[in-house]
Amino acid sequence: MRNYFPYTIFPLGDTALTVDFGNCIDQDISAHIMGVFKYMQANPVQGFIECVPAYSSLTIFYNPAILKKEIRSRETISDIAKEKLEEILEKKSCTLTDQPRTVKMPVCYDEAVAPDLKTILREKKITKQELISLHSSPAYRVYMLGFLPGFAYMGEINEKIAMPRKATPQKVQAGSVGIAGNQTGIYPINSPGGWHIIGRTPIKLYEMKDSDNFSTFFQPGDIVQFYSISRDEFENY
């Protein structure tokens, strides 16, 4: 695996910086980003509030009132934050070596829980069996969590079933499996959403143990294998 990826850093307003590794979906870049993220979680920097990984970028939020104390000469606080961030990005120890975890995910592709299934079959001129096979045979990688608590962005789906986002978001039930562009994802909670819904999983995607502990079913880097279950199996899961 390459251990060097070119990047640019741009300010996300006046209290955050984004490290951009290029507008692309790439497993190696994603693994590198998670490496940097885990390094930063384990080695917190004074003045940095939080670090948030995405597909091909990583954003850090900082507290200007704290970083201000380190200003020398004519620098801005944003410059200080950037220097600190670059220092971390140059470290070799950031590269992730963890083996990805593989998770199996049951999905019921029944029309009753898949409001957009018919539209896709009609538009793509494929049978339901073909759709199930096209969606559930590849192993997907979880690239990032975002949008809603525990929502995992996974890629990349077969071009034959790629659908654009809906023009207007609609109500989506918790557990709904959606597709948008070359991505697939599952809604952890009821929410408005713009992805086409092709199935639903009975698995709960997050756990609230108590007021201090929250865990998500998926982690970035996970390899996900969907498998089809019947309506009956779904109802009695």
Partner 1 sequence: MKIIKAGICDSIQDCGRHGFQYMGINPGGAIDMFSMRTVNLLAGNSEYAPVIEMSFPAASVFFDAPAIIAIGGADFSATLNGKPVPLFHPVKTGANSTLKFEQWKEGRWCYLAVNGTMGAEKWLGSYSTHTKINAGGWKGRLLKKGDIIPFTDLAPVQDVDDKKQEVLKWKAVPFYDSAPADEIFVLPGNEWDYITDEGKLIFQEQLFSVSRTSDRMGYTLEGAAVSINMPCELISSVVDFGTIQLLPGGQMIVLMAGHQTTGGYPRIAHVIKAHRTKIAQLKEDKPLRFKITDIQTAEELLLKQEHHLTILKNGCSMMWADYFKK
Instruction: Select from 4, 6, 24, 99 the one that contacts partner 1 (CB under 8 A).
Output: 24
Q: Any contact of residue 59 with partner 1 (CB under 8 A)?
A: yes
In angstroms, give the least distance from the CB of 30 to partner 1: 11
CB atoms within 10 A of CB 36: 25
Instruction: Select from 76, 119, 158, 228 the one that contacts partner 1 (CB under 8 A).
Output: 76
User: Any alpha helices (H) in the chain, and if so which ranges?
Assistant: 27-42, 64-67, 77-89, 117-124, 128-136, 231-235
Q: Which of 32, 109 has the CB closer to partner 1?
A: 32
Q: Are 127 and 121 in contact (CB under 8 A)?
A: yes
Instruction: Select from 27, 86, 87, 214 the one that contacts partner 1 (CB under 8 A).
Output: 214
Q: How many residues bind partner 1 (CB under 8 A)?
A: 49
Tokens at residue 211, please?
A: 């007021």
In angstroms, give the least distance from the CB of 72 to partner 1: 15
Instruction: Select from 7, 55, 195, 226 the one that contacts partner 1 (CB under 8 A).
Output: 55
Residue 118: C-alpha distances to residues 11, 111, 113, 159, 187 (Å) = 43, 7, 12, 18, 20
Q: Any contact of residue 35 with partner 1 (CB under 8 A)?
A: no
In angstroms, give the least distance from the CB of 82 to partner 1: 11
Q: Any contact of residue 95 with partner 1 (CB under 8 A)?
A: no
* Of 20-28, 85-93, 98-106, 109-117: span binding partner 1 (CB under 8 A): 20-28
* Of 104-112, 122-130, 132-140, 188-196: span binding partner 1 (CB under 8 A): 188-196
Q: Which one, of 30, 61, 66, lies nearest residue 47 by Cα?
A: 66
SS3 state of residue 126: coil
Residue span 133-172 as binding mask against partner 1, x where in contact by CB under 8 A, dash where not:
-----------xxxxxxxx-x-------------------
Measured distance CA(163)–CA(57) in Å, rounded: 24
Measured distance CA(107)–CA(226) in Å, rounded: 7
CB atoms within 10 A of CB 68: 12
Tokens at residue 95, please?
A: 């590269």
Instruction: Select from 1, 4, 6, 23 the one that contacts partner 1 (CB under 8 A).
Output: 23
Please list, residue by residue across 129-158, b when 16 or more beta carbons sit within 10 angstroms of its beta carbon and e when fewer do.
Answer: eebbebbbebebbbbbbbebebbbbbbebe
What is the contact surface with partner 1 in residues (CB under 8 A)? 10-16, 18, 20, 23-25, 37, 49-57, 59, 61, 64-65, 68, 76-78, 144-151, 153, 181, 188-189, 191, 206, 208, 211-212, 214, 216
